[in-house]
């Protein structure tokens, strides 16, 4: 199939908020109900400021009050200082594990450096992680989000086979590739095929919405984005009536298209404010890096290498890295561009909430012709709606697209 076209990644472009970082909204997906128990004034002040941006925070200083609250409603996370009133903080953590409502709650303990009890509590699973004094805001946020992601991954294990396999195989693949510095090996290609097959099965069974719900609180953005692009491409391919083998290839393309970002410095990849010209130049190198890594592997077929290289090209030749035009762009790259833009627009990031699907479709409609291939874009939107990947809306609201 020869189509004309390519794409862009909006999370890296002018779509960023210009507000100072401290004023930016946290994504809806990370608004947790957090209970903080601490009688240590400095801990309370420092943690309240850090955690308020991550969710709805309830603060108590008394250990018994903390345990009592845990029985009244399900909290998303518990932060305990080793210094609480009436009880020892470690005892509170231990007692919390005996309360049915908080048996599996993620717990972050706050303790002094080199506190052996903290080490023991992590080792025996009573707490998930330890934040040491003095409180470092960036480190606590990172520990908290990692804790929540691990908690989410444990939840995946309780899902039915289909979603569970797709999510766990996708994450295992992502971790394997990134642990290897982006090197794709025959072993990781086996993981790519397994994960793609699991995702295509989910798409065939019309359970993508369920899959996306189970994915949405994960904090590893590159994983979430690549996985979503793979899932959207699977739905898209089936909507286009493609054979199973082509659906699998497109899912693989989605999982691998941004592998070159492993070579993009994290401060640039995750920068919450507008990129400088120099940073933007570096960010725009990732498609060539994807192509390079995939080609170097010697075990990835040419069509997947091309998607890595060309998913930011645009129909009118203003894309990157090659400035290809229309029919010069291979069809898998054309299809991937649509799914990639949709994911970039709707993804939640630490510095902004994702766009609602119908709003994203309106934005994408404005890219039809110069950036995205119009006929395929229309099909993509129809398929996403009919598969329930977006909430259904009245026909009158759809006139823009």
Number of other CB atoms surrounding residue 100 within 10 Å: 9
**8 Å CB contact between 156 and 163:** yes
Residues 244-273 that bind Fe ion (CB under 5 A): 258
Q: Is 43 an interacting residue with respect to Fe ion (CB under 5 A)?
A: no
Check residue 34 and report its DSSP letter: E
Question: Based on CB atoms, which residue is closest to Fe ion, 92 or 344?
Answer: 344
CA count, 13 A, side-chain hemisphere, 140 = 24
Rank residues 80 and 307 by Cβ distance to Fe ion and give the closer one: 307
> What's the closest the beta carbon of residue 283 comes to Fe ion, in angstroms?
9
Residues 212-231 that bind Fe ion (CB under 5 A): none
| Stretch 292-311 residues interacting with Fe ion (CB under 5 A) | none
Phi, psi of 78 (to 5 degrees): -125, 125
To Fe ion, the closest distance from the beta carbon of 57 in angstroms equals: 33
CB 286, min distance to Fe ion, A: 6
- Least Cβ distance, residue 320 to Fe ion (angstroms): 10
SS3 100: helix
Tell me the window of 73-81, 130-138, 167-175, 334-342 that interacts with Fe ion (CB under 5 A). 334-342
Q: x/- contact string, 2-31, with Fe ion (CB under 5 A)?
A: -------x----------------------
CB of 171 to Fe ion, least distance (A): 17
**For Fe ion, how many residues bind (rule: CB under 5 A)?**
3
Exposed / middle / buried, residue 73 (Cβ in 10 Å: 0-12, 13-18, 19+): exposed
Beta bridge partners of 62: 85
The one-character DSSP state at 320 is S
Rg (C-alpha) for the chain, rounded Å, is: 23
- Quick one: which H or E segment has residue 59? strand 55-60
Minimum separation from the CB atom of position 9 to Fe ion (A): 4
What is the CB neighbour count within 10 angstroms for residue 41?
Answer: 10
Nearer to Fe ion, 148 or 253 (CB): 253
Nearer to Fe ion, 87 or 224 (CB): 224
- Which pair of structure tokens corresponds to residue 63? 């250990």
Rounded least distance, CB 311 to Fe ion, Å: 5
From residue 261, give the alpha-carbon distance in Å to each of 106, 170, 214, 219: 30, 17, 24, 16
Q: Which is nearer to Fe ion, 246 or 340 (CB)?
A: 340
Compute the least distance from the CB of residue 248 to Fe ion, in Å: 19
Query: Is residue 133 exposed (0-12), middle (13-18) or buried (19+ Cβ within 10 Å)?
Result: middle
Nearer to Fe ion, 118 or 269 (CB): 269
DSSP lists the bridge partners of residue 110 as 81, 131
Considering only 1-9, 22-30, 116-124, 315-323, which stretch makes contact with Fe ion by CB under 5 A?
A: 1-9
Which of residues 217 and 340 has its CB atom nearest to Fe ion in the complex? 340
Site for Fe ion, residues 336 to 375, rule: CB under 5 A? 340
Indicate the residue among 128 and 308 with the shorter CB distance to Fe ion. Answer: 308
Q: How far apart are CA 45 and CA 58, in angstroms?
A: 13
Binding site for Fe ion (CB under 5 A): 9, 258, 340
């Amino acid at each position: 199939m020869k189509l004309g076209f390519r794409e862009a990644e909006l999370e890296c472009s002018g779509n960023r908020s210009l507000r100072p970082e401290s004023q930016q909204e946290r994504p809806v997906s990370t608004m947790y109900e957090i209970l903080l128990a601490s009688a240590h004034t400095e801990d309370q002040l420092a943690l309240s400021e850090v955690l308020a941006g991550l969710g709805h925070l309830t603060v108590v200083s008394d250990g018994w009050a903390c345990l009592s609250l845990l029985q009244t409603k399900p909290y998303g996370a518990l932060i305990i200082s080793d210094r609480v009133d009436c009880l020892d903080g470690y005892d509170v953590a231990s007692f919390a594990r005996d309360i049915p409502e908080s048996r599996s709650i993620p717990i972050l303990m706050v303790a002094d450096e080199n506190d052996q009890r903290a080490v023991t509590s992590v080792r025996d699973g009573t707490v998930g992680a330890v934040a040491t004094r003095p409180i470092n805001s960036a480190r606590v946020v990172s520990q908290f989000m990692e804790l929540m992601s691990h908690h989410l991954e444990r939840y995946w294990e309780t899902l039915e086979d289909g979603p569970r396999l797709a999510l766990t195989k996708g994450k295992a693949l992502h971790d394997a590739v990134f642990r290897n510095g982006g090197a794709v090996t025959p072993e990781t290609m086996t993981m790519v095929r397994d994960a793609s097959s699991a995702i295509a099965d989910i798409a065939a069974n019309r359970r993508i919405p369920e899959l996306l719900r189970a994915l949405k609180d994960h904090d590893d953005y590159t994983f979430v984005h690549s996985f979503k692009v793979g899932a959207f491409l699977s739905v898209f391919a089936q909507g286009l009536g493609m054979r199973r083998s082509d659906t699998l290839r497109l899912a693989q393309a989605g999982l691998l298209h941004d592998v070159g970002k492993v070579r993009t410095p994290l401060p640039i990849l995750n920068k919450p404010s507008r990129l400088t010209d120099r940073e933007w130049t570096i960010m725009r190198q990732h498609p060539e890096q994807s192509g390079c890594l995939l080609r170097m592997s010697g075990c990835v077929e040419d069509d997947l290498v091309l998607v890595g290289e060309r998913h930011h090209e645009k129909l009118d030749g203003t894309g990157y890295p090659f400035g290809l035009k229309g029919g010069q762009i291979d069809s898998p790259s054309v299809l991937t561009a649509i799914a990639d833009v949709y994911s970039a627009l709707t993804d939640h990031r630490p510095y902004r909430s994702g766009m609602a699907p119908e709003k994203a479709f309106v934005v994408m409609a404005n890219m039809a012709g110069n950036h995205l291939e119009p006929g395929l874009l229309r099909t993509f939107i129809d398929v996403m709606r009919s598969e329930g990947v977006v909430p259904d809306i009245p026909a009158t609201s759809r006139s823009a697209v």
